[in-house]
Structure 1
Amino acid sequence: MRRLGHHVNRKRIERVMREHGISGVTRCRRKGLTRPAKRAVPAPDLVARDFTAPAPGMKLVGDITYIPTDEGWLYLATWLDLATREIVGCSMADHHRAGLVVDALKIAAGRGRLQPGCIAHSDRGSEYRSDELRCEISRWGLRQSMGRTGSCFDNVAAESFFALLKEEIGTRRWPDRPSARADIFAFVETFYNRRRLRRHPRWGYLTPWETRQRHEQEHTLAA
């Protein structure tokens, strides 16, 4: 509302919400998909719970979640840019093998928005410790990073996006995977990246897409 020029305070918003029976959604802890790989050596933690980045394409966080359908689970893998909170890579399939996270990373890298040496951070699930993902990370000149086993706080930025997604689209069961895929794609590309506002410490309330635009404008002016 402040972005639209309305001067309101928090207490007034709380009162109006109470009068109309509106309340916030409490996020429930989800059951994870992480399956530790016993043989592969984990990558070091290059993020150390610092979920900020000075510019786009320098730090990504990735994770996998699952969506219920009458045909079975639909698995979703994403890579989120910590500078903008934009989902830059997204892949869905009826499995959560390594190819799922690799496909999402290919989309992120293929957009040409990743800097040399960009950190790709995740948990220690077997999908992320696979040779397939390691090769893809090396091919694009990125650096792999992993949190500790069993510590959700080491990848909380990626997990928070999934909690938000399930709040916004509603926790329900889809009739089939194509319909779930369409709803998730619309949420990510149409609503989350381009319409959902997030408070930036310097620029105020912006969408992830607008935040990236601001960074690019500043880079152009500095050059």
Structure 2
Amino acid sequence: MTVSDQFIEENPGCWIFNNQKPVQPVSGLAFGSRVIGGAGVRLWEILPGSWFQRVQNPHNFWRAWLIDACLGHADNRQVVFQEWKVGSLKPCFIDHGFLFGGADGTHRPKAARSRYLDPRVYGNAPVPQLSKYAKTIHEVFPEILRSLVQDVPAQWKTTSAIASFERYVERLSEPGLCEGVLDEILQAYSHVSNPEAIESRSIFAPAFAGLQVRMPATQL
């Protein structure tokens, strides 16, 4: 869609927040994503602990973490939970603006950075399935990502953006990269949960110094 300067000035809710500072978007061609939910649909951003057992396919949180970590997501994973069926919550993974090294492409985030803030949603790590998924990311994702980026408008393909994108796509092709990132997120998770909840696995990556799990009051 085409967005005017007047619309941007009159609707500060569409501004981008980079390190808690508002950044005014540029007018012109903009990406419009589908709204989650609808009339009569209930959504949650933060869940009480007893509700996590109602989340559909919680293993997708592990898969999202692995993808985020491989592609340099420099922000915590954002999720909105939608009431899908009676007693069931469907997670919708949103806000991917800090992939490929953050808004300016210069960040080098550790794997722990892109974890969903409440670790209780993860449960036991499905290590065999994640190992297969890491192989899939290594073998399939580079081609898929390069195919998808062809549909991005030319005016969005700045030199710095393409360089950041290519840097992380090339990383996916490195032998053992995705497997090493998987080891890192398992190691990171062990710092914020009961270590016995993690299935036995050799850890090749160095241990993380620690995790920052605080949420700023403004986000609450």
TM-score in terms of structure 2 length:
0.28
More strand by share: 1
More helix by share: 2
